[in-house]
Structure 1
Amino acid sequence: MHKFIMYLTVLCLTLFFLGCSTFSNNNKPLNLSGQYYNYLQPSFDQYLAETKDWLSEHRAFISDNHEKELAMNMPFERGNKNSKKAILLVHGLGDSPYSFSDLATTFSEQGFYVQVLLLPGHGSKPEDMYLTTYQDWQNIVDHYANLLKKDYQEVWLSGFSTGANLTAIHTLNNEGIDGLIFISPGFESLNPTLEKLSSIVSVFWDGISKKENNFARYSSISMHGMAQYSDSAVAFRKAISDKNITVPTLIAISEADSIINSQATTEFFADKFVNPNNHLIWYGDQHSLRIKQRTQAYSMKLDALHISTASHMSPLFSPNNSYYGKEAEKLICTNSLDEEQTQSCKQGENVWFSAWGYQEEGKVYARLTWNPYFDNLKYEISKLVGYLIID
């Protein structure tokens, strides 16, 4: 896949320098464009109502169970609104609020009032991703984070992948955030060349179109969406270049992550996250973890569970999750470009679990979609948030 993408990158660059016209984005914010709905509402309740109306009319449903699909893609709230502390949760590229279906409960159990956003372009149909810009995503995060600050004494942010970039940028550029929880943060991708060129590539090629078969995320891959992720990563690295993040932070990452550069994340953690209560959870080999202070490693060589590595998404979900958990309904068999492997997985042939693209001879792999150490993650969250106590 990487060679294929790089080939297309070179082709698009050639066309670009031969004089092909570049794509011109409408600079008007998406919520004011007339092509979308106004997701920047004066209250979260109004935002929920507007989003439900939009998704009910515009989602390209992939099953007869419209109610279930809608529920899994809706922003939501959880916990006690009368709490003194609140947390805003932000999903990643191509995903949905369902990414935080388990951790939202964890945070509410820790006394937080929880809000979970739906980023513009998500939850409806892959084509809507083409309408968005990075700034649209940053605007919605900034807007609802600022609303929480008006009503709560303590405000935390949590993000998965691209969502971690957006919440980190808000923290760096604004006051009033008391703590951060990042899952597989997308601070730097595994392919920095493609990250830099994705905006140009997206002019000529909008990615890989697949049959949508996952209620909780897009199966298709939007190159335009990847370009907006890249913008968020660049914006994060620019914002943190001359600053530090001083609030308590927990980061959970997979060594074998096929999307983000996990080692780069550990370096940011060591150099730029300076609160003494910080903690990093590493799902992988302890010996490959380059930093030792404020870290904890969990081996993912778990033969008894047929697990070979963690994945980009696996830290998020409990083994008991109804859709992605250990005994759940969703099995992601498209875990590589090997069609024979995919078909063997679908037939249930002694399936093992890993990050995308991982292979071992004689084993058939699906994506690992749950965290065998989820209870440990909950415990570390409870320790971190306990450092700040409001009377």
Structure 2
Amino acid sequence: MKLLRLLVLLSLVGCADRSTALSAPSPTSFEQYRQQTLARLERDRRFQNPDHGLELDWNAPREWVAQTPNGHGVLLVHGLGDSPGSFSDIGAQLASRGYRVRTLLLPGHGTQPYDMLDVDIADWRRTVAQQVALLRQDVDQVYLGGFSTGANLVLEYAMDDPGIAGLLMFSPAFKARNRFIWMLPWLTYVKPWLRDPEGPRQLQSPLRYQNIPTNGFAQFYRTSAAVRDKLADATFDRPVLIVSAAHDSVVDVQFVREAFTARFSHPASRMIWYGELPAPQRSPRILVRSDHLPAERISQFSHMGVLFAPGNPQYGRQGQQPECWNGQTDEGLQHCLAGKPVWYSAWGYREPDKVHARLTFNPYFEWQAEVMEQVMRQ
């Protein structure tokens, strides 16, 4: 009974408004927003390398302006613990097709994981709304895109704003695979970190956080719960592209696929499914590609791998930032860190006599970009 009372009390506290005010005045242009954010990164970031250039470029908001503009704009929102650099390849692809493309930095990100201890979903929602308004000043039509948690945020926004032309959602996290995630808004007040931030594992890399406070996961859960609430009562009738990996270690991708079929009604909408899919579950709107590519040493696709081109200098085939920590043994971790040959997979996959790093690039990237363009042309 005492435990029940504690959980009820914590749930009431967790529902209170914990939002933190944005540290700078509301910007009146994207360039002002970018400069404000760069100044904050230079002041507050825990840099991982003596040369700060890569980390500032990767973590700061960015804009691509097309040489031949089509009058349309795309705002891209990164995932939990990630950064605007997640869209370094997709942004360039969209700009090459005429779109003005922008990324943003969600509050609590880009500096150090400790800054996520007090962030609230309201901060993230406000940032998205602010940047949509700024983009509308410069284009005739706005599309939104997002990765994982960012996909949840843009879908929630677009369902309340019929002026959004369409959505691009990469590994959308409508529902987590972990069935105990609903407890995190309560747990955050009891256990601020699920993994000790002072432990032996790296806290962050130049590109993303490697350890996230419990509150960060709690706010992610709130984004997924908000999306499921909206999808339970409504459909989305504008074109969407959803990209999912069948072996995603984070997301309940079966739920995402069923939601796509039932709730995303536009005939031009497409779902790309990387993995096997039995014939009864297929449809003309679901495009299937194998995620087992032995010639590439790929055992399966990962949650993050759908975003990056094979030639990406950080995450590509020869990338400088391999994701070696993949749930394998310490021996396997050291094998990868030493630069020895590895296979690639989603988090936690193991196979005898093989060391698996996280797959951080998409061998189908160019084909995926063509599908993306076909959806957006509608």
TM, length-normalised to structure 2: 0.92
**Partner secondary structure for residue 206 of structure 2:** coil
1:316 aligns with one of 307, 311, 315 = 307
8 Å CA contact retained: 1:31, 1:39 = no
**Partner secondary structure for residue 214 of structure 1:** coil
C-alpha distance in 2 between matches for 1:152 and 1:78:
13
Report whether the alignment pairs 1:197 with 2:188: no
How far residue 151 of structure 1 moved from its aligned partner, in angstroms, is 3.7
C-alpha distance in 2 between matches for 1:334 and 1:361:
17
Report whether the alignment pairs 1:342 with 2:333: yes
1:146 aligns with one of 100, 111, 133 = 133
**Partner secondary structure for residue 102 of structure 2:** strand
1:360-379 correspondence runs (5 A): 360-379=351-370
C-alpha distance in 2 between matches for 1:85 and 1:21:
42
C-alpha distance in 1 between matches for 2:270 and 2:121:
28
Identical-pair percentage:
35
How far residue 21 of structure 1 moved from its aligned partner, in angstroms, is 10
Partner of 2:203: 212
**Partner secondary structure for residue 118 of structure 1:** coil
How far residue 216 of structure 1 moved from its aligned partner, in angstroms, is 1.0
C-alpha distance in 2 between matches for 1:18 and 1:295:
42
8 Å CA contact retained: 1:165, 1:185 = yes
Partner of 1:62: 48
Aligned residues: 371
1:253 aligns with one of 244, 251, 265 = 244
How far residue 386 of structure 1 moved from its aligned partner, in angstroms, is 2.0
Report whether the alignment pairs 1:380 with 2:366: no
CA distance 1:67–1:196, shift in 2 (3 Å): same
CA distance 1:17–1:145, shift in 2 (3 Å): closer
C-alpha distance in 2 between matches for 1:144 and 1:23:
30
Partner of 2:108: 121
Residues 125-156 of structure 1, C-alpha deviations (whole Å, 9 max, x = no match): 00001121011111111121133234422110
2:168 aligns with one of 156, 171, 181 = 181
C-alpha distance in 1 between matches for 2:9 and 2:165:
49
Residues 315-369 of structure 1, C-alpha deviations (whole Å, 9 max, x = no match): 0000000000011111111100522221222234431100000111111110000
8 Å CA contact retained: 2:155, 2:227 = yes
C-alpha distance in 2 between matches for 1:127 and 1:52:
18
C-alpha distance in 2 between matches for 1:54 and 1:287:
49
The runs of at least 4 aligned residues of structure 1 exceeding 6 Å deviation read 12-15, 18-22
CA distance 1:288–1:219, shift in 2 (3 Å): farther
Give the superposed CA RMSD.
Answer: 2.3
How far residue 278 of structure 1 moved from its aligned partner, in angstroms, is 0.5
8 Å CA contact retained: 1:286, 1:299 = no
Give structure 2 stretches of 5+ with no counterpart. Answer: none
- Letter of the structure 1 residue corresponding to residue 122 of structure 2: Q
CA distance 1:243–1:212, shift in 2 (3 Å): same
8 Å CA contact retained: 1:91, 1:163 = yes
Report whether the alignment pairs 1:16 with 2:11: no
8 Å CA contact retained: 1:349, 1:364 = no
- Letter of the structure 1 residue corresponding to residue 355 of structure 2: V
**Partner secondary structure for residue 361 of structure 1:** coil
Report whether the alignment pairs 1:27 with 2:14: no
**Partner secondary structure for residue 21 of structure 2:** helix
8 Å CA contact retained: 1:75, 1:97 = yes
**Partner secondary structure for residue 203 of structure 1:** coil
C-alpha distance in 1 between matches for 2:185 and 2:279:
33
8 Å CA contact retained: 1:88, 1:157 = yes
**Partner secondary structure for residue 302 of structure 2:** coil
Partner of 1:75: 61
Give structure 1 stretches of 5+ with no counterpart. Answer: 1-11
